């Protein structure tokens, strides 16, 4: 029975959320073990208020762990901790090399990226998992540890919990940020997240987001807040400029933790398939998720309060960053479709204020 477990976490926000059931299952399997989770700095806040990890370690390749000297510094630190077991949720060769060089005797991960020889338990992907939600991909790594078989199929009722919390400091900072911008407690706040890191094939159009936001602002006297990472600033600004009603533009102006706090203040989030979509699901915030090139079966929001809007086309899902043809998967999603999905959610919470 391992006493000290090292988990190499995933590198991106959406993947971090989808791997939470696996980390929670590790805690269930080994309730007395000390669990350390190694992640990149930009996903740390996903785990700021979780109960399944004892320690969050930061892998900072742009700072203290930069270059070969930084790699040896990380390895030396991990070796001093004397872990019994490494579970590699990240697929990279480097993750397996780090665990091996750190002297961790048992190393479990998928046999990918030519790293099988570095693992003691090289897992093969179950073909059935490729047809299911990605949470099962991460859970599949745990079968060598005795995890029981998971339900098959894509029924959201069978899916394990991705629920997370928010640090009190981030929740309070988000409330204060809104207060300073003139948004009072009790105001109807609707979030718009028009970006998506993976590429433009996952992004609905800025003008259409603006039209939806204007309609909801008028109907519910809502305050519209436009979110996004620093890389999303251009499209977020385009949405704001295209709107007839005023909005609060916060893209690139928050930490991830503060962003989570702001999402929690929303009555509704309207978003592309993105890290923000997964965070809203994990925080139990109602959302409309717009899908283009990707698959809602594989990476859709795991929430009973989420509505997916998509336009079926023969080439979907292509998983491409940029559409090589006519982009009908996104062009086919109308402003009215998204408005109706949003109204169906909001009418349960508040009456129309037209």
Check pLDDT > 70 for residue 152. Answer: no
Topology adopted by domain 168-349:
Rossmann fold (3.40.50)
The secondary structure of 304-323 as a DSSP string is TTEEEEE---TT-----SS-
The secondary structure of 202-233 as a DSSP string is G---HHHHHHHHHHHHHHH-PEEEE---GGGH
More confident residue, 204 or 156: 204
* Sequence ranges of the domains in the chain: 4-158, 168-349
**What is the pLDDT of the chain when averaged over all its residues?**
93
Q: CB under 8 Å to 6, separation ≥6 — which residues?
A: 36, 38, 78, 81, 83, 85, 86, 87, 99, 102, 104
**pLDDT tens digit sequence for 230-285:** 999 999 999 999 999 999 999 999 999 999 999 999 999 999 999 999 999 999 99
More confident residue, 101 or 354: 101
Rg (CA), the chain: 21
| Alpha carbon 131 to chain centroid, angstroms | 20
Q: Which whole number is the average pLDDT over 112-123?
A: 95
Query: pLDDT at position 197, please?
Result: 84
The secondary structure of 60-92 as a DSSP string is -TTTTT-HHHHHHHHHHHHHHHT-SEEEE-S--
Query: pLDDT at position 199, please?
Result: 81
Query: Which residues share a beta bridge with 308?
Result: 289
CA atoms within 13 A on the CB side of 186: 0
How many angstroms separate the Cα of 175 from the Cα of each of 192, 210, 213, 222? 17, 24, 21, 16
Q: Which whole number is the average pLDDT over 297-317?
A: 94
Q: What is the spatial distance between Cα 77 and Cα 99, in angstroms, rounded to a whole number? A: 11
Check pLDDT > 80 for residue 151. Answer: no
Query: Which residues share a beta bridge with 54?
Result: none
The secondary structure of 142-202 as a DSSP string is GGGGTPPPPPPS--GGGSPP------HHHHHHHHHHHHHTT--TTS-EEEEE---TT-GGG
Q: CB under 8 Å to 276, separation ≥6 — which residues?
A: 13, 193, 227, 259, 263, 269
Check pLDDT > 50 for residue 155. Answer: no
Check pLDDT > 60 for residue 153. Answer: no
Check pLDDT > 80 for residue 99. Answer: yes
More confident residue, 150 or 209: 209
Q: Which whole number is the average pLDDT over 173-194?
A: 96
Q: Is residue 324 classed exposed, middle or buried when 0-12, 13-18 and 19+ CB atoms within 10 A define those classes? A: exposed
Q: CB under 8 Å to 76, separation ≥6 — which residues?
A: none
> Among all chains, which residue has been given the structure tokens 């609060």?
248
Q: Which whole number is the average pLDDT over 109-119?
A: 95
Q: CB under 8 Å to 352, separation ≥6 — which residues?
A: 219, 220
Which CATH number applies to 4-158?
A: 3.40.50.2000
């Amino acid at each position: 029975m391992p006493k000290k477990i090292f988990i190499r976490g995933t590198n991106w926000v959406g993947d971090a959320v989808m791997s939470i059931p696996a980390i929670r299952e590790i805690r269930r399997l080994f309730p007395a073990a000390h669990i350390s989770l190694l992640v990149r700095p930009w996903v740390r806040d996903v785990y700021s208020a979780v109960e399944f990890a004892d320690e969050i370690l930061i892998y900072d390749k742009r700072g203290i762990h930069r270059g070969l000297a930084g790699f040896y510094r990380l390895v030396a630190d991990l070796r001093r901790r004397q872990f019994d077991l490494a579970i590699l949720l990240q697929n990279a060769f480097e993750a397996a090399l780090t665990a091996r060089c750190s002297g961790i005797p048992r190393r479990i991960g998928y046999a990918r990226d030519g790293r099988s020889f570095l693992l003691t338990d090289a897992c093969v992907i179950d073909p059935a998992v490729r047809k299911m939600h990605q949470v099962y991909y991460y859970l599949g790594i745990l079968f060598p540890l005795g995890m029981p078989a998971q339900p098959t199929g894509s029924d959201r009722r069978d899916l394990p919990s991705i629920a997370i919390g928010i640090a009190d400091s981030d929740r309070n900072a988000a409330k204060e940020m809104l207060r300073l911008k003139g948004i009072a407690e009790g105001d109807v706040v609707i979030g718009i997240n028009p970006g998506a890191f993976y590429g433009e094939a996952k992004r609905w159009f800025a003008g259409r987001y603006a039209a939806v936001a204007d309609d909801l602002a008028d109907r519910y006297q809502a305050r519209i807040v436009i979110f996004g990472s620093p890389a999303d600033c251009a499209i977020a600004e385009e949405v704001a400029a295209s709107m007839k009603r005023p909005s609060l533009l916060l893209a690139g102006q928050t930490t991830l933790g503060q962003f989570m706090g702001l999402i929690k203040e929303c009555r509704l989030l309207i978003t592309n398939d993105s890290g923000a979509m997964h965070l809203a699901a994990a925080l139990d915030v109602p959302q409309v998720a717009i899908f283009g090139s990707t698959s809602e079966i594989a990476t859709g929001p795991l929430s009973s309060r989420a509505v997916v809007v998509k336009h079926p086309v023969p080439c979907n899902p292509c998983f491409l960053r940029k559409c090589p043809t006519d982009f009908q998967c996104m062009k086919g999603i109308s402003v009215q479709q998204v408005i109706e999905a949003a109204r169906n959610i909001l009418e349960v919470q508040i009456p129309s204020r037209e």
